Amino acid sequence: MEVITTTDKQLAKEVRNHLEMILMENTWLLKQINFEEVAVFANTIKTANHIFIIAAGRSGFAMRSAAMRLMHLGLNVHFVGETTTPAIKEGDLLIAASGSGTTSSIVKAAEKAKSVGAQVLALSTQSHSLLANIADQLILIPAAEKEDHEGSRSRQYAGSLFEQFLLLLTDAVFQTLWKMDDTANTELWKRHANLE
């Protein structure tokens, strides 16, 4: 039987404390969001012909999760950069997540989407950025930027709070759309990947 040392107990306490801090920061951020804007976002998802999602790094992991859930709803959704992603067209929606709002590949994708008549929805920590200026709609997530080394908005490293909140917010949007649709979860499950 493994013996738990004082060091292990202290480490366990530290991990718990950090998890509580992470949850507290996400709860604080929840209170800063304009949910009327999120409602417009949810309605735009419902009416789009195709949904394209773009984000980089850890934000990309969160937004891939969002893409998967929207696919479970039976929506036509594509993550930009995958080899099977088709051309974006008028009537489509690009959801672009960038904490800084300046990630060049994301800004270029937003410009392209606008040039063909697609709508652009941005999720960002910045209300004044290249991406925000292009977007038809911006959901401002006032989390810390990656280079907020002073910890003015978050005690977490880099852009962790923004990335975590992307996952939570898009899961809440999915949950809302699912309940509105009222499709049984057994039907959604039929769309889940089965080549794993």
- Tens of pLDDT along 120-142? 999 999 999 999 999 999 999 99
For the chain, the domain total comes to 1
**Domain for residue 9, yes or no?**
no
9, 17 Cβ separation under 8 angstroms: no
**Domain for residue 196, yes or no?**
no
Cβ-in-10-Å burial (0-12, 13-18, 19+) of 130 comes to buried
**Domain for residue 135, yes or no?**
yes
Q: What is the CATH number of the domain that holds 55?
A: 3.40.50.10490
**Domain for residue 43, yes or no?**
yes
DSSP structural state of residue 3: P
Residue 25 has pLDDT above 80, yes or no: yes
- Tens of pLDDT along 38-69? 999 999 999 999 999 999 999 999 999 999 99
What's CA 180's distance to the chain center, in Å? 20
**Domain for residue 180, yes or no?**
yes
**Domain for residue 194, yes or no?**
no
- Our answer to whether residue 163 is catalytic in this structure is yes
Task: Kindly report each contact of residues 147-155 with a partner whose C-beta sits within 8 Å and lies 24 or more positions away, as own/partner.
Answer: 154/25, 155/21, 155/25
Q: Which domain holds residue 75?
A: 33-189
Interacting residues of 80 by C-beta distance below 8 A, sequence separation 6+? 52, 53, 54, 94, 109
Amino acid found at 168:
L
Name the nearest CA neighbour of 85 among 112, 107, 62, 103. Answer: 112
- Tens of pLDDT along 86-122? 999 999 999 999 999 999 999 999 999 999 999 999 9
**Domain for residue 27, yes or no?**
no
**Domain for residue 65, yes or no?**
yes
Name the nearest CA neighbour of 88 among 139, 50, 129. Answer: 50
Name the nearest CA neighbour of 27 among 157, 159, 154, 145. Answer: 154
Q: Which of 150, 163, 187, 196 is catalytic?
A: 163
Token output for 167: 């996952």
